[in-house]
Amino acid sequence: MKSRSYPSSRTNPIRVAILLLVSVAMVLLTVDGAGASPACNPRKPATCTLRELADLHSLRIGSTAEPSEVTNPAFASILGREFNSLTPENALKWYATQSTVGTWDFTGADAIVNYASDNDMSVRGHTLVWAQDTYTPAWVRAISNPVDLRAKVNEHITTTMNHFAGRIHRWDVVNEPLATFGTGPSSSVFWTMGPEWIADAFRLARSLDADAELWLNEYGSDWVPGKHEALLELVAGLVADGVPIDGVGLQTHRLPGDQLDTVRFGEQLADFTALGLEVAITELDVPVSPDDPSAFQKQATEYAKVVSTCLRVTGCVEVTVWGLTDGATWLDSLGMFPTPTRPLLFDTNFAPKPAFEAVRRVLATAAPRLPVTGSRMTAVATAGLLLIVGGAFSLIRAPRPGLIAGPSPVRPTRARYVGRAQGPRAGVRSNRPGRYPRPRKHR
C-alpha cells in the first residue's frame, strides 16, 4: 500500500512558525479588548484597578449603589473604575419599586442599571422576594389569604423581570428565606404560601427569562451556628427537586473582631459548588471596633482572607462589597455594633484603605484561573488558542509515513466548570500559574 505523502510546506518550520505567531496574535487581539490596560502590571499592583485584576481571574468584583450615588461624581468615578459588577443596594427592592399597591417606580433602579451598562458592569438584580417582614411593604404583609399573596408575588416577579429583560441577567430571586440568627424558616409572610413558595418563585423566574442566572441569597451562614448546614439542606433539596437554581449568594457580613477560618469557609463554598451551583460572596463588609488603633490592618487581613478563599474555590465567581465608603454603610444605622463601624474599602473621604490595598494585592498575586462564567467569546477564544498551538505542534512533529497526524501533545488542562460532575470537596482548587484570556463584556 502506498504510504501517504505530505506537502513539503506542512513541515517547513519557518512557515509553521509564522503561521503560529500570526494566529496567536489574532486570538490575543480578539480576547484582550476589555482586559487590563497596558499600564496595568500585576507585578506592580498599584498600577492596576481592582476590576482589571479581577478580570484576569474571571471574577466579578462588585460594589453597591443607590440612585443618588451613580450621579454623584465622587461615587461614580470610583465605582466604574474599580468594579465590574454593581448591585442596587435598595432600589430594586419591593419597598422601592411598589411601596403602595399598584404604583410602580423603576426610576431609581433604571438609573443604576443604565450607569452599569455605560460602564460595562454587570448587574446583580437584588432582589425579587426578600423574606424578612421588616423589609416587606405593609400592604404585602397585610395579605392574609395565601392565594392572593401568591398572585401578588407572581405579579411582582413578572413585572420586575419583564421591565429589566435583556438588561439584568442575574437575579437574587429569593433573599434570606431563613431566620436571620437561626436555622429555621424566617417568620416572613411569604412562608404562609407553603413550603413550595421558593421553588415556585424560581420556576416562574426561569419561565420569564430562560437565560438569566437565578440565585438564592442568605445572611450569616458564615457565622450563625448551624446556619450553613440549614442553608445547604434547603438548597440541596431544591437541586434534588430539579428547581432551576444557578447559584447561592453568601452575604458574608462579618462581625467586628471575628477572624475568618478560611479552611472552613472554603469548605462551605465548596459544599455549594459540589451541588453543581455557582457561589458568590454577595454583601461583604467587615466592621471594626471604633477604638482599636490597629483596626484597619486587621480588617485588611480579613478582606484578603475572604477574597483569596473565593479565588481558590472553582465556581466562586463573585465578591461584592456592601457599600463603597465608610460614610455610606448600612451598619452605622443598624444599631448592632458600636459606631462608626468603618467596614468598607474606602474611607469617608473616598480614600482607599489598607483593606483596598489588601484586596488588590490578593488579586494581583493569586494565580489566574480559567473563565468560569466569562463570556462565550472568551471560551471560544481559549479553545481556538489551544487548537492552534496543538495543531502547530503536531505539524512540527516529523510525521511518520502512514499516519495522518501524530497525537496532539496539547490536552485541555481543565474543563469549563461543570460543578455537577465534581464530588464533594472537589470544588476547592489548587492554585496553578498560567496566563488566561479575559472576559470581554460584563453581563
Q: So which residues are the catalytic ones?
A: 176, 283
Please report how close the Cβ of residue 219 comes to ligand XIL at its closest, in angstroms.
Answer: 5
Q: Is 327:281 a contact under the CB 8 Å cutoff?
A: no
Residue 418: CA count within 13 A, CB half-sphere: 4
Residue list 370-389, contact with ligand XIL (CB under 6 A) = none
Given 197, 219, 265, 356, the residue binding ligand XIL (CB under 6 A): 219
Please report how close the Cβ of residue 420 comes to ligand XIL at its closest, in angstroms.
Answer: 27
Please report how close the Cβ of residue 180 comes to ligand XIL at its closest, in angstroms.
Answer: 9
For residue 388, which of 116, 31, 43 has the smallest C-alpha distance? 31
Given 85, 97, 251, 325, the residue binding ligand XIL (CB under 6 A): 251
Please report how close the Cβ of residue 44 comes to ligand XIL at its closest, in angstroms.
Answer: 35
**231 vs 84: CA distance, rounded Å:** 28
Site size for ligand XIL (CB under 6 A): 8
Of 176 and 302, the one with the shorter C-beta distance to ligand XIL is 176
Place of cell 434547603: 234
Please report how close the Cβ of residue 192 comes to ligand XIL at its closest, in angstroms.
Answer: 21
**86 vs 108: CA distance, rounded Å:** 14
Measured from each CB, the residue nearest to ligand XIL is 330
Given 23, 47, 90, 262, the residue binding ligand XIL (CB under 6 A): 90
Of 164 and 417, the one with the shorter C-beta distance to ligand XIL is 164
Residue 359: CA count within 13 A, CB half-sphere: 30
Q: Per rule CB under 6 A, is residue 175 in the interface with ligand XIL?
A: yes
**214 vs 109: CA distance, rounded Å:** 19
What the block records as the C-alpha cell of 163 is 421591565
**351 vs 326: CA distance, rounded Å:** 10
For residue 286, which of 375, 206, 222 has the smallest C-alpha distance? 222
Please report how close the Cβ of residue 126 comes to ligand XIL at its closest, in angstroms.
Answer: 6
Please report how close the Cβ of residue 251 comes to ligand XIL at its closest, in angstroms.
Answer: 6
Q: Is the dihedral of CA 220, 245, 51, 128 positive or negative?
A: negative
**171 vs 202: CA distance, rounded Å:** 10
Strands 85-88 and 60-65: parallel
Please report how close the Cβ of residue 46 comes to ligand XIL at its closest, in angstroms.
Answer: 30
Q: What contacts 12, CB < 8 A, 6 or more positions away?
A: none
Q: Is the dihedral of CA 74, 78, 81, 87 positive or negative?
A: negative
**202 vs 85: CA distance, rounded Å:** 22
Q: Is 302:254 a contact under the CB 8 Å cutoff?
A: yes
Helices 13-31 and 376-396 pack at an angle, to 10 degrees, of 170
Of 213 and 283, the one with the shorter C-beta distance to ligand XIL is 283
Binding mask 259-288 for ligand XIL (x = CB under 6 A): ------------------------x-----
Starting at the earlier edge strand, list the strands of the sheet with 247-250.
122-123, 85-88, 60-65, 316-321, 278-284, 247-250, 213-218, 170-175, 125-130
Q: Is 126:175 a contact under the CB 8 Å cutoff?
A: yes
Residue list 315-374, contact with ligand XIL (CB under 6 A) = 330
Of 249 and 371, the one with the shorter C-beta distance to ligand XIL is 249
Of 55 and 172, the one with the shorter C-beta distance to ligand XIL is 172
Of 90 and 289, the one with the shorter C-beta distance to ligand XIL is 90
Of 294 and 333, the one with the shorter C-beta distance to ligand XIL is 333
Q: What contacts 389, CB < 8 A, 6 or more positions away?
A: 20, 24, 410
Of 125 and 439, the one with the shorter C-beta distance to ligand XIL is 125
Q: Which residues bind ligand XIL (CB under 6 A)?
A: 89-90, 175-176, 219, 251, 283, 330
